[in-house]
Structure 1
Amino acid sequence: MRDRLKTSPPALPVVLRTPSMVLAVLGFLTLIALGLRFAGHSVPSAFDAPLLPGPDLIGDPWWYFATAIDFCGEPLGATLILALVLGGCLLTNRLRTAVLTVVGCGLTVVVTSVLKPLTGRTIHGSYLSFPSGHTAFATALAVIGAYVLAGRSGRSAAVAWTVGLAVVSGFLMAWAEVGLGAHYPTDTIGGFAVALAIVPVTGYWVDRLADGKGRVRTSGEKPA
């Protein structure tokens, strides 16, 4: 298995390491700033208010479209998507991408789940809302997909793929979550930031460990 991991394409393409780490820092700072700003709040901010749907939420046929998108972030929908992604990774010998998918998406969901009670922001009275786990999951998958597509591209094209897919996927899930009344817009920005902060760092460590550079060597063991 270790040999297969070593020969597998990198989880985080070399061309994207520096840009991705910059995005990770920006995501982390954005998350901290928003978390501190909205901790304990239960009303929309001045930024949120104009973007929220009316009391009837979004109407047909958009409601069905939003519900379908939302399902992709629910436990069953997310599990089905992950199974498809992992199957594709195994068929194409992208074992590092498979590990990044499981660990990166898992950490993203865990972090959003932990931050919700810590920030204590609520919507509709008692529902914890910051940050949006659905948006974080969708963005994390998009970033991982961009790493696969951008692996053989130049830096400019690779960065464009990563930012473009992350923004489009994050926006679609954010639109669905806000439209269905599940989150404030700033909750979805927080979820977007979580994914940007976690996935690149996870991908970097997946590659280091797969290359044998992240473990402690025993006495007398030669470097890889």
Structure 2
Amino acid sequence: MTGRPAPAVLPPSLRTWLGLIAVLAALVVVVLGVLYAGHSEPGRVDRWVIQPTADSVGPPWRDVALATDFLGEPVGAAMLVVAAVTGCLLLRRPRAAVLIVAGVSLTVGASTLLKSLVGRTIHGEDNLSYPSGHTAFFTALALMVALLATGRLCLRRTAGMLLVLAAALAAGAAMGWAQVALGAHYPTDVLGGWCTALAVVPATAWLVDRMADRLVDRTADAGRRQPR
């Protein structure tokens, strides 16, 4: 006897479009990384958007920026991940819980690796800035929650894409603003972090679905081979 197959974490209706977006996002990450490799000053685009300093904003908006920034710090990020995984398990979506853990790990790992490879700094040689890990994490988490909601609500392609992109844009804009306002990153660092999440999450979701489906198939084959 076989149960109902677990819902895919990457809805089939969104695979093509999110795949294309992931490829474009990866290209943006690479191009920006090459352009700003080894730099320690804001570029032309950064100066056009805003000159990041430690006092770019004052109260009460600085308090809002600090609170948002906390959600990307280890303690705040861990709280969000635990809450998201718990929600997935309560909704009986273990595959989505696996995606949350894997997606966050790979996104943060990718941004950390890119920082070392690119070597762009801000406020000193020890402060690697490209891409913004805070923005990458927060965007990735929002993307994965939106994917879960899309599958849970059985949204069609257009509605699903709008939800996923709106969640990614809102999360990236909120955390990106906080990072620039606090002088922790240049605007192009934020864009790089946002695109890192857009590149990593769809690929991770596809891999989670692929591995989970293979595991289910192997389990089913083993069950059929057992003597009755």
Identify whether the pair has TM-score above 0.5, normalized to the shorter chain.
yes
Letter in 1 for 2:188: T
Structure 2 match to 1:193: 195
How far did 1:11 drift?
1.1
Asked if residue 34 in structure 1 is aligned to residue 32 in structure 2, the reply is: yes
2:209 maps to which residue? 207
Local SS of the residue matching 2:41: coil
Unaligned regions of 5+ residues in structure 1, if any? none
Equivalence map 1:1-224=2 (5 Å):
7-50=5-48, 51-53=50-52, 56-126=55-125, 127-151=127-151, 152-212=154-214
Alpha-carbon contact 2:52-2:185 (below 8 Å) kept: no
Q: Which runs of 4+ in 1 moved over 4 A?
A: none
Q: 1:121-174 deviations in whole A, cap 9, x for unaligned?
A: 000122110000000001101110111122211111111111111011001000
TM-score by length of 2: 0.89
State the Cα distance separating 1:187 from its structure 2 match: 0.2
Distance 1:123 1:166 in 2: 25
CA distance in 1, matches of 2:54, 2:182: 10
CA distance in 2 between counterparts of 1:194 and 1:97 reads 20
Write the letter of the residue equivalent to 1:138: F
Query: Once the two structures are aligned, what percentage of the paired residues are identical?
Result: 46
Asked if the contact 1:40–1:122 (Cα under 8 Å) also holds between the matched residues in 2, the reply is yes
In the alignment of these two chains, the number of paired residues is: 217
Once residues 190 and 53 of structure 1 are traced to their aligned partners in structure 2, the CA distance between those partners, rounded to angstroms, is 16
Matched position secondary structure for 1:130: coil
Give the whole-Å Cα distance in 2 for the aligned partners of 1:43 and 1:52.
10
Query: Using the alignment, how far apart are the partners of 1:141 and 1:54 within structure 2?
Result: 27
Distance 1:196 1:45, change over 3 A: same
Instruction: Assess if the C-alpha contact under 8 Å between 1:208 and 1:214 holds in 2.
Output: no
5+ residue gaps, structure 2, are: 224-228
* RMSD value, Cα: 2.2
User: What secondary structure sits across from 2:45 in the alignment?
Assistant: coil
TM-score by length of 1: 0.91
Pick closer, same or farther for the CA change 1:53–1:118 going to 2, 3 Å. Answer: closer
